[in-house]
Chains A and B, each alone.
Chain A
């Protein structure tokens, strides 16, 4: 267990010294939301109508952008080999890795999304729904994405493959997330969608680390 904690700490330090790596997806998110109103009909009513979907799609693609690097460096420099050699649980290790990934990708997205949604003229009632749907949804994106990242970690230019593997799995999260925000915007009940996201999160948290651990093991046994 101590190695897992040490790895989490170490990865956070690495992220702090390499801000470019995690700022890039955040910049992408910002740019999409800044450019969208310029490219479509700038009518506030129209923007308000599409805001929920645009913010969620941008958050999803920004997460996808950050996934490719999740295990790549660890596979290439031998860190993964040392994990496996340590005999510590790969399940816990996978959860730790995803936690760090979420801290530097999903969490900042969740925090800045309400600010950027202003540019999309998101209805006032929808802000808390946006925040909570992203808070529940982005960890799922990280968890599911980790499975794809682990499968493609040993593949050269696995980015395309990763998107193909992961995007279909992201669709339900996108639908429930965006629909929660949209329904909040037209003053309808949205607890159901958040409930779905919460249960997805529970399932993903318990099951995906198994898949990640298995995929990483496979990567190394060659």
Chain B
């Protein structure tokens, strides 16, 4: 599973990731999830949010992605509040939640085509290539309902290969993947940060092999 990438790492992305959270606090059902949290995601960072279930990992991820505005503090992209430059920000980051947004009656190719429709520069050939790389070659025309959970997850993850964004925000991307899939995804994460991209991820999976890794622990408030 290899893919040709540009040789010059600096040429891969035109914009670099500059996302930061300033004194962010969030409460859910009278329970304080985190308070005055500061976090910055820069070029080449791989940040893993860890913590027990219910610690607020997904909540933090969603508010960093700009999907949730119910919090105190500020999240900034290139020194501007993300809500003020949301369209710009949305084009520079890829968000894959634990819901995969896969339509079961559509084929992997049709699903992928919808996912990348915000990025008109993505070519049809790239989609075929991406599906081949996630070992779904031959399944392009099979409705997703006939694929296993792991294969459906691979369809969602194929977006990583075709969307030209410097920042990836991934919520539990290892769910349902087999051993080979986990290795492949780890390789993709390492490659992405090596080429100047950034990753913000929640996972219970140990990512220790990647040198750029930084862990942030949530769930200290009781």
Q: A: which residues have CB within 8 A of B?
A: 2-3, 5-7, 10, 13-14, 17-18, 76-79, 81-82, 84-88, 220-221
Flag if A85 contacts B90 (CB, 8 Å). Answer: yes
> Which one, B91-99, B128-136, B195-203, is touching chain A?
B91-99
Residues of B within 8 Å of A, CB-based: how many? 30
Q: In the complex the two chains form, what is the Cα distance from A17 to B104 in whole Å?
A: 11
Contacts of B89 in A (CB 8 A): 87
A-B contact pairs, 19 of them (CB 8 A): A2-B118, A13-B106, A17-B105, A17-B143, A77-B103, A78-B97, A79-B101, A81-B67, A81-B95, A82-B115, A85-B66, A86-B90, A87-B86, A87-B87, A87-B89, A87-B91, A87-B118, A88-B90, A220-B68
B103–A79 contact, CB under 8 A? Answer: yes
Q: State the total of A-B contacts with C-beta under 8 angstroms.
A: 71
B146 at the interface (CB under 8 A from A): no
C-alpha gap A5/B118 in the complex (Å): 10
CB within 8 A of B110: which of A3, A13, A76?
Answer: A13
Given A78-B100, A81-B67: A6 touches B117 (CB 8 Å cut-off): yes
Residues of B close to A14: CB separation below 8 A: 103, 105-106
Q: Across the two chains, which residue of chain B brings its CB closest to A86?
A: B118
Q: A14 CA to B143 CA in the complex, in Å? A: 11
Q: B102 contacts the other chain (Cβ, under 8 Å)?
A: yes
What is the minimal beta-carbon distance from B167 to any residue of chain A, in angstroms? 12
With the chains together, A165 CA to B89 CA distance in Å?
A: 36
- Contact B103 A10, beta carbon cutoff 8 Å: yes
Q: In whole angstroms, what is the CA distance A9 to B143 when docked?
A: 17
Q: Nearest chain A CB to B111's CB is how many angstroms away?
A: 9
Main secondary structure of the interface of B (DSSP, over half): loop
**A87 to B90 Cα, complex, angstroms:** 5
CA distance A82 to B103 in the complex (A): 12
A residues less than 8 Å from B90 (CB atoms): 85-88
Interface flags for B182-213 (1: CB within 8 Å of A; 0: not) read 00000000000000000000000000000000
A2 and B120 form a contact (CB under 8 A): yes
Q: Is A6 a contact partner of B105 (Cβ separation < 8 A)? A: no
Whole-angstrom CA separation of A93 from B105 in the bound complex = 21
**B67 near A7: Cβ-Cβ < 8 Å:** no
How far is B94's CA from A87's CA once the two chains are assembled, in angstroms?
Answer: 11
Contact with A along B101-127 (1 / 0, CB 8 A): 111011000100111011010000000
Once the chains bind, are A220 and B67 in contact (CB under 8 Å)?
A: yes
- Inter-chain contact B70/A82, CB cutoff 8 Å: no
Whether B99 contacts A81 by the Cβ 8 Å rule is yes
User: Which residues of B, 56-94, contact A by the 8 Å Cβ criterion?
Assistant: 65-70, 86-91
Q: Which of A2, A17, A77, A221 contacts B102 (CB 8 A)?
A: A77
Taking CB atoms, residues of chain A closer than 8 Å to B99 are: 76-78, 81
Contact with A along B162-192 (1 / 0, CB 8 A): 0000000000000000000000000000000
Give every chain B residue within 8 A of A220 (Cβ-Cβ). Answer: 67-68
Q: Which of B67, B98, B100, B106 contacts A85 (CB 8 A)?
A: B67
- Name the B residues within 8 Å of A78 (CB-CB): 97-101
CB distance from B166 to the nearest CB of A (A): 15
